[in-house]
Chains A and B, each alone.
Chain A
Amino acid sequence: MFAEAEATHAVGWFLEHAWLIPVIPAVAFFLIIFFGKKMPRGGSEIGIAAMFASFVIAAGTTYQWTQWTHHSEEAIDKTLTWWSSGPLKFAIGQHIDGLAVMALVLVAFISTLVQIYSTEYVRGDRRYTHFFASLTLFSAGMLTMVLAPNMVQFVLGWEIMGLCSFMLIGHWWEEEANARAALKAFFTVRTGDMGLLVGTAMLLAVFGTLDIGGEHGINAMAAAGEFDSKSMLMWTAIALFIAAIGKSGQFPLHTWLPDAMAGPTPVSSLLHSSTMVVAGVFLVARIYPVFHIGLDINVAGHHFNFIAVIGGITILIAAGLAFVQNDIKKVLAYSTVSQLGYMMMGLGVGAWMPAVFHIFTHAFFKCCLFLCAGSIAHTGSHHSFDMKTDMGGLRKKMPVTFVTWVISTAALCGVPFFSGFFSKDEIIDSAHANDYTVFWIVGLIGAFMTTAYMTRATYLTFFGKARGGAAHFVDGHEDHSHDEAADEVHHDIDGHDTHAHPAHDDHHAPLNHGKPLPFAPDDSPWQITAPLILLSFLALVSGYLNAAPFHWHSFEHWLESSIGLPLGEGGIPEPPTFEWVNALPSVVLVLAGFAVSLFLSKKVFFNDEKSPFKGLTERNALLGAGHKFLVNKYYLDALYEGVIVKAIAHPIAKAAYWVNQNVLDGVVNGVGITGRRTGEWMYRNVDQRVVDGVVNGSGATARGAGGALQPVQSGKVSMYGALLFGAAAVGALVLVLVNS
């Protein structure tokens, strides 16, 4: 396939060498681990250089891919045999097509920015070098996954990310909460990974191969119907979808994501924008024919795809939770879950292109929002993420952070002409056009909710009166006399994120790296603001790569061949033609969400003590119950940890162990004791006369050897041994007689 293509068109250098993109950071990981400590900047320079090199190659690959698609739809495969068994061969290498290229450039770009940002954010951290090592390996994992030519390499990248998320979320493991969050993230994802392992085994059974692309790859065979049974394909898709749910934090395995906020903010940013949580969506997009055909469910003559159901539920559930969070990062975390729900729903309703485009645009604005939150905590709010106690009124003090936040928020909410509008609206529009009416409504409600909770968060953070940590910041530079506060903060600048923990972590030793107090009258330093500006710029413009209202479809053209299914009859539906009339409901709802939320925020928070809305949840039982239900995250965590882990797994483990010690081992010990008694009896009555010679012979040998060392029971052992050998000989005789 590749050879033919080469005959007609020259393939660019970058396209042929795209495999370098993950290899560079992977090598850099080892360099940082072994030499990072000795470098002047603690290894961060290696990480940044590697990510930047990856980005340059990814950019070159992207350019050449846009050229390549003028005359060919062929993917560019380059592989080596990784392992083989009998007739099965599994390759490692690259499978470069539109989807892979999009993800490569996205991941490399965002990783580079996040690393630059981190040099300031975690400056002076006690595990600075390890932080960059993990960050680099993390990116390498995601990059390995996106250009995987087969499922085995896909699993490799997928699991490496799992490991790194464990390392990064638990970066400050001295505190038990962080260690627990890391464990929870890894464990929940790992539970989903069960589906990935089994699903991959099922793919092998269904298609006889694990290659993704090519004429005899999974996608082509699934699309052409070259499989034995539809139900088997369905189970395969279900198994794999469980993995996607776990990784992408979809309902009901979304509970680990907010806890994962325990990690440093740059990590959250990377995890939630272009890596890790996107992996699940990416899996569905990558082998889309399997999911599109496999999970197509026919109920009473009406076809619908199961993926849409999970996506739809997730949109609403997560958005609901975002309303009751006081931690700004948790608002964003639930927002990510909800947006991933949009992507899943898009894939479910057959809108592959808009869903993938939403991956693309979402990465920029969500990364930017998280970095803004980090910027606030780093500079403005005394390392706290609690919007209610430590923020407020920051818009004037942190203008860059404020403006970039607002732009990204607008993009997230889907305000027209911001990037999120072009991607999200097309998902909603497709749901409508493809007869998923319920999900169309879900999408619209989701848009309303998104705007509402983001307005609330924006209001709490940037408007109103400065409180707590932010108040120090705001007042600090006006009268330079807040020594007490300054001291306290200076104590804390080892980059530690605190999440509304009332007790500050005073056990951390102060670090002196000659840095001025972070209460400079300006915004955060350039390492932080530069990424913010770049990302918010992209949050503004990236949507125009695929702007349906203007009939700009470059993105679509570049990625079309990755769907694996034809557009139109026998494949997935054509994207709907854009009409402003169809976009109207969502635009109206976004505005409504903004207005309602602003009104409520003003009423509920701070300004007006007499407001009828203030403390409403305490006064109204029904609302109070609803609030409590949300605050407790629908009690899913309680179900998993309290019921499944504590009430089921632990007792089962204990019971199994009891059985082991008392039943199985009891049998062994019983046999031993009986054996010894029998032996004693035998020894007295039979042994002395019958097998005397044998016993003495072997016993003497063993005793000789044993005696040289230490007189431990050797006599007894040799006696048992001799008896057993005797029994063996008799047994053999019996067996032969019986069977011949």
Chain B
Amino acid sequence: MHDVLQNQQWLLSLGVFLPLAGVLVMLFIPKSDESTVKGVAILTAAATLLVGIYTMTQFDYGKAGSLQFFTTNNWITPIKATYTIGLDGISLPLYVLSMIITLLVMIYSWDHVPSPGNPKAFFILMLVLQTGMAGTFVAQDLILFFVFFEVVLLPMYFMIGVWGGENRQYASLKFFLYTMFGSALMLVSFIALFVVTRSHAADPEAANFSFKWFLENGADVSKNTAIWIFAGMFIGFAVKVPMFPFHTWLPDAHTQAPTQGSVILAAILLKLGTYGFVRIAIPFLPQAATKWAPVIGILAVIGIIYGALGCLAQTDMKRLIAFSSVAHMGFVMLGIATLTPLGINAALFGMVAHGLITGMLFFIAGSVKERYHTLEIKRLSGLLQQVPKLGWILGMCAMASLGLPGLAGFWGEFPAILSSWNPLHGEGLPYGGLSLSLFRWLTVIAALGTVLAAGYLLWLYQRTAFGNPTAEFAGLGADGDHGHDAHGHDAHGADAHGDDAHGEGGHELLHDVNKFEWIAWTPLLIAIVVFGVLPQLMFKLFDPGVVELVKVFGGK
């Protein structure tokens, strides 16, 4: 992290701000010209992703631990904030993931603009969101980070508040205020950290808000102060993650948000919190991190069990998926709390995997809702008969979500369990180790969470996908009959079988996965399998940066 590569300094700024250029163009397109609006937005997102892919090709994988495409400039000089951005192996997957998700969500939105319509505003908001998300992952300055971190709030607030479900007002306000409350405390900590480090520094004039400054000076802060400052950051990030007991905004926000909002929220926004822990709270204040780690670990494990229990009590499919996020992010936080390379690698992998898998699950929930106009588990049954492809995809994602090896979810869960049995401990560590017995108990309880995960996901699957359709939806199957003919269960051929049925049978028939859904989903499904089979693709990227990051703790 100490040496940086200052190559192609324009690249990251282009990637971050390109969506805003698209927004500018869109402002001049009349609202009524919907397809142009959508086209421009999707083109912008695609161009942004191309920049992201170009970034990947230019990235020096041999130096994945160093910041690359690094650039620094004065920004707000009076408050010592700088415009510093850079990208290393930890950020790269998340940075590119945000671009992919945005593009796929937009493609999905082509024929899925939620009520009350107005695609122009809807697409503009998604582009603004994209800038905020990408910016957060490349920011190397606390103020800049904070700004990007907050930029995502408003578009999401409007997405939920305008395009959301029945209870959208309550959910969006709760989401906004809760996150804002956390952000406020976080900002307190940022400012305090700056003030304290400057007062300790040999050369106070050199102080600024860049990450480099805090990495070099954060460890000098006295332990008690550091613990307080960490507390502020903890709440800010924990709300975002969300960790138990700060999670109650999440089920409401997810349930009420339009499908697109849920997907982005699950896939990227939640990761801002965990990313903040890995990138900011822990490396800046190692002396506080070792004291806070047990707290984080305990809350993480409570979250795992609690989230799973919450899932078991749900009657609504989307709300169930939302609660499962609480449990999965618990595994991520457990990995982080171990303060070991293995744990943090697991956490980073878990972040990406959860993004892919839960993003997909929300897509599916959206499509189920669109077809059946309900997500009540009781009323859904026999998806495999009526919309077999959708049913099979749901099955695959459920399996991925419960951590089946060979699919991406496993690599967030299993190494987290490995690491929490072996957390940071030993003799002569500069900031002390963690309690072995505590973390080992946590491991066992977390493992119980994997059983519960299997429980709620299979239970969901059994009731929605297996069996025969309920009376109210019987006879609306994609094949026009009860799905009993031998060819009615082809899950995998990409032929748009559902469209035919739709054409023949009028509007009442349920159609299976359509063209836009296939385009939006296929990349995610492929990624879930590829990263599941070849985890090293991702671990190789994370590892150098993570090893560098935890070196300060002196562990193995």
Q: Mark B88-111, 1 if CB is under 8 A from A, else 0.
A: 000000000000000000000000
Docked CA distance A200–B418 (Å): 7
A327 CB-CB contact with B under 8 Å: no
Inter-subunit contact A170/B184 (CB<8 Å): no
Q: Of B137-145, B175-183, B274-282, which stretch is located at the interface?
A: B175-183
Report A-chain residues with C-beta under 8 Å of the C-beta of B346: 85
Using a CB-CB cutoff of 8 Å, which residues 106-164 of chain B contact chain A? 118, 121, 125, 154, 157-158, 161-162
Q: Which residue of B lies closest to A727 (CB)?
A: B184
Q: Of A359-367, A626-634, A717-725, which stretch is located at the interface?
A: A717-725
B378 CB-CB contact with A under 8 Å: no
A708 CB-CB contact with B under 8 Å: yes
Report A-chain residues with C-beta under 8 Å of the C-beta of B493: 34, 37
Using a CB-CB cutoff of 8 Å, which residues 647-703 of chain A contact chain B? 649-650, 652-654, 656-657, 660, 664-665, 668, 672, 675, 702
Inter-subunit contact B418/A201 (CB<8 Å): yes
B485 CB-CB contact with A under 8 Å: yes
Q: Mark A169-210, 1 if CB is under 8 A from B, else 0.
A: 010011010011011001100110110011011101100000
Using a CB-CB cutoff of 8 Å, which residues 300-344 of chain B contact chain A? 306, 309-314, 340-342
| Count of A-B contacts judged by CB separation below 8 Å | 232
Inter-subunit contact A672/B174 (CB<8 Å): yes
Beyond A85-B345, A88-B342, A198-B443, whether A739 also contacts B224 by CB under 8 A is yes
Docked CA distance A160–B532 (Å): 12
Inter-subunit contact A197/B447 (CB<8 Å): yes
**Within the complex, what minimum Cβ distance (angstroms) separates A5 from chain B?**
27
Inter-subunit contact A739/B417 (CB<8 Å): no
A12 CB-CB contact with B under 8 Å: no
The interface residues of chain A, by DSSP majority, are classed as: helix
B202 CB-CB contact with A under 8 Å: no
**Within the complex, which residue of B188, B406, B484 is in contact with A160, where a contact is CB–CB below 8 Å?**
B406
Docked CA distance A702–B229 (Å): 29
Report A-chain residues with C-beta under 8 Å of the C-beta of B177: 672, 675, 717, 720
B248 CB-CB contact with A under 8 Å: yes
Docked CA distance A128–B406 (Å): 24
Report A-chain residues with C-beta under 8 Å of the C-beta of B173: 713, 716-717
Inter-subunit contact A709/B458 (CB<8 Å): no
Inter-subunit contact A85/B342 (CB<8 Å): yes
A534 CB-CB contact with B under 8 Å: no
Report A-chain residues with C-beta under 8 Å of the C-beta of B535: 82-83
Inter-subunit contact B486/A83 (CB<8 Å): no
Number of residues in B with C-beta < 8 Å to the partner?
98
**Within the complex, which residue of A197, A198, A511, A656 is in contact with B486, where a contact is CB–CB below 8 Å?**
A511
Q: Which residue of A lies closest to B157 (CB)?
A: A717
**Within the complex, what minimum Cβ distance (angstroms) separates A729 from chain B?**
8
Report B-chain residues with C-beta under 8 Å of the C-beta of A201: 417-418, 420-422, 443
Inter-subunit contact A187/B454 (CB<8 Å): yes
Using a CB-CB cutoff of 8 Å, which residues 221-246 of chain B contact chain A? 222, 224-225, 228-229, 232, 245
Docked CA distance A513–B323 (Å): 48
Among A33, A85, A508: residue with most chain B CB under 10 A: A85
Inter-subunit contact A712/B161 (CB<8 Å): yes
Q: Which residue of A lies closest to B249 (CB)?
A: A668
Inter-subunit contact A736/B196 (CB<8 Å): yes
Report A-chain residues with C-beta under 8 Å of the C-beta of B158: 706, 709-710, 712
A324 CB-CB contact with B under 8 Å: no
A163 CB-CB contact with B under 8 Å: yes
Inter-subunit contact A183/B458 (CB<8 Å): yes
**Within the complex, which residue of A128, A204, A509, A736 is in contact with B485, where a contact is CB–CB below 8 Å?**
A509
Report A-chain residues with C-beta under 8 Å of the C-beta of B422: 201, 204-205
Inter-subunit contact B539/A197 (CB<8 Å): no
Q: Which residue of A lies closest to B150 (CB)?
A: A721
**Within the complex, which residue of A84, A160, A740 is in contact with B405, where a contact is CB–CB below 8 Å?**
A160
Q: Mark A120-138, 1 if CB is under 8 A from B, else 0.
A: 0000111110100000000
Inter-subunit contact B184/A187 (CB<8 Å): no
**Within the complex, what minimum Cβ distance (angstroms) separates B447 from chain A?**
4
B516 CB-CB contact with A under 8 Å: no
Report A-chain residues with C-beta under 8 Å of the C-beta of B420: 201
Report A-chain residues with C-beta under 8 Å of the C-beta of B399: 163
Q: Which residue of A lies closest to B405 (CB)?
A: A156
Q: Of B13-21, B47-55, B462-470, which stretch is located at the interface?
A: B462-470
B191 CB-CB contact with A under 8 Å: yes
Report B-chain residues with C-beta under 8 Å of the C-beta of A298: none
**Within the complex, what minimum Cβ distance (angstroms) separates B260 from chain A?**
15
A735 CB-CB contact with B under 8 Å: yes
Report B-chain residues with C-beta under 8 Å of the C-beta of A200: 414, 418
Docked CA distance A727–B184 (Å): 8
B199 CB-CB contact with A under 8 Å: yes
Inter-subunit contact A86/B174 (CB<8 Å): no
Docked CA distance A86–B158 (Å): 42
Docked CA distance A95–B312 (Å): 41
Beyond A85-B543, A183-B458, whether A739 also contacts B228 by CB under 8 A is yes
Inter-subunit contact B121/A83 (CB<8 Å): no
**Within the complex, which residue of B184, B340, B459, B489 is in contact with A728, where a contact is CB–CB below 8 Å?**
B184
Report B-chain residues with C-beta under 8 Å of the C-beta of A183: 458-459, 462
Inter-subunit contact A735/B342 (CB<8 Å): no
Beyond A190-B451, A708-B121, A731-B185, whether A84 also contacts B492 by CB under 8 A is no
B404 CB-CB contact with A under 8 Å: yes
Inter-subunit contact A664/B180 (CB<8 Å): no
Beyond A736-B192, A740-B196, whether A126 also contacts B184 by CB under 8 A is no
Report B-chain residues with C-beta under 8 Å of the C-beta of A152: 414
**Within the complex, what minimum Cβ distance (angstroms) separates B31 from chain A?**
11
**Within the complex, which residue of A156, A508, A654 is in contact with B406, where a contact is CB–CB below 8 Å?**
A156
**Within the complex, which residue of A186, A705, A724 is in contact with B154, where a contact is CB–CB below 8 Å?**
A705
A87 CB-CB contact with B under 8 Å: yes
B455 CB-CB contact with A under 8 Å: yes
A581 CB-CB contact with B under 8 Å: no
Inter-subunit contact B417/A197 (CB<8 Å): yes
B490 CB-CB contact with A under 8 Å: yes
Q: Which residue of B lies closest to A671 (CB)?
A: B181
**Within the complex, what minimum Cβ distance (angstroms) separates B310 from chain A?**
5
Report A-chain residues with C-beta under 8 Å of the C-beta of B264: none
Q: Which residue of A lies closest to B161 (CB)?
A: A712
Interface residues of B (CB under 8 A from A): 118, 121, 125, 154, 157-158, 161-162, 169, 172-174, 176-178, 180-181, 183-185, 187-189, 191-192, 195-196, 199, 222, 224-225, 228-229, 232, 245, 248-249, 306, 309-314, 340-342, 345-346, 382, 384-385, 399, 404-406, 410-411, 414-415, 417-418, 420-422, 443-444, 447-448, 450-451, 454-455, 458-459, 462, 465-468, 484-493, 535-536, 539-540, 543, 546-547, 556
- Give the 6 A-B CB pairs with smallest separation, nearest first: A86-B341, A201-B421, A657-B313, A653-B312, A656-B309, A732-B191
User: 30 A-B pairs, CB-CB below 8 angstroms?
Assistant: A82-B535, A82-B536, A83-B535, A83-B536, A84-B536, A86-B341, A86-B342, A88-B342, A159-B404, A166-B458, A179-B462, A179-B466, A180-B462, A187-B458, A191-B451, A197-B414, A197-B417, A198-B417, A198-B443, A198-B444, A201-B421, A653-B311, A657-B309, A664-B248, A712-B162, A727-B184, A732-B191, A735-B192, A739-B224, A740-B195
Other contacts beyond A198-B443, A709-B158: 20, CB < 8 A? A37-B490, A83-B535, A85-B539, A173-B467, A186-B454, A187-B455, A194-B448, A201-B417, A511-B486, A653-B313, A668-B174, A672-B177, A706-B158, A709-B125, A709-B162, A712-B158, A713-B169, A720-B176, A732-B191, A735-B188
Interface residues of A (CB under 8 A from B): 33-34, 37, 81-88, 124-128, 130, 152, 155-156, 159-160, 162-163, 166, 170, 173-174, 176, 179-180, 182-183, 186-187, 190-191, 193-194, 197-198, 200-202, 204-205, 508-509, 511, 649-650, 652-654, 656-657, 660, 664-665, 668, 672, 675, 702, 705-706, 708-710, 712-713, 716-717, 720-721, 724-725, 727-729, 731-732, 735-736, 738-740
